[in-house]
Amino acid sequence: MSFSSVGRTKVAAHLFLLLLNIIVLALSTRVNLYQDFFCTPILDFGDETAYVPAPVVADRFPFILSIITFVVLGLMTLVDFCSNNSYTGRAQFEIGVFSILSIFWMAFNAFSSSRWSSVPLSCGGIPSEYPDVLQWCHELTALRVLVWFEWLTFFFTLVLTLRYAITESNRGNKHIFKMPLSRYDPSLRSDAANNNLAVDYGYGHNDFSAYGKLN
């Protein structure tokens, strides 16, 4: 069964989130690599020593969280492509996962941003003789913006998915909670959706109909 029109939109949103998350993962990896994942850079600019405040824990959170997000969202998307009836693709499951990820991204971004406040947004104060430090500063600045953009994308995806699921359910399309969103079609009804589930799990149409008559 191919993706529905709603499903194609949902899958496109998930792929965009994966791409954005990969960018955040790459940036956070480079920022942490510059610090050897535990060191705070100490720079000597001429006559005086400048301590570049690098809040290591704040840098570590986007790195770890982007790995978790990549694994979770990547598996959900992969299963959605491989299975016509993946539970991980159903509205209630995606709403739950996106709610948890949104909360974690918001909480850790708030913590990291408070620690990053000691690092100036402008990298103009770093002499050009230190290209590695300049690159680290630019990458950290980009990371500070993108982690919040990723949270916003997760949050809006969550809100739109929740709103759409509630709207369709109120219209009587209860089968939205019984099949993956990638295969959901409002024109289907619960009986058709249930028949599809029976076929997907190896039960024939007649067997399922007989079961319904017994009840």
Whether 67 shows a pLDDT value over 80: the answer reads yes
Residue 166 inside a domain? The answer is yes
Mean pLDDT calculated for residue range 63-77: 96
Q: Is residue 141 situated within a structural domain?
A: yes
Which residues on adjacent β-strands are paired with residue 48? 45
Top-confidence residue, 113 or 152: 152
Mean pLDDT of all residues belonging to the chain: 81
pLDDT at 31 (0 to 100)? 86
Please check whether residue 198 lies inside any domain of the structure: no
Residue 161 falls inside a structural domain: yes
**Per-residue pLDDT averaged across 43-61, rounded?**
55
Chain center to CA of 88: 14
Flag whether 104 is in a domain.
Answer: yes
Q: How many domains does the chain have?
A: 1
Q: Domain range holding 143?
A: 5-185
Mean pLDDT of the region 93-113: 95
- Looking at residues 76-105, what average pLDDT do you find? 95
* pLDDT mean over 170-184: 93
What is the value of pTM for the model shown? 0.77
214 is a domain residue: no
Q: What percent of the chain lies above the pLDDT cut of 70?
A: 76
Least confident stretch, 10-19, 111-120, 155-164, 167-176: 111-120
Q: How far is CA 175 from CA 82, 86, 178, 195, in A?
A: 21, 14, 5, 11
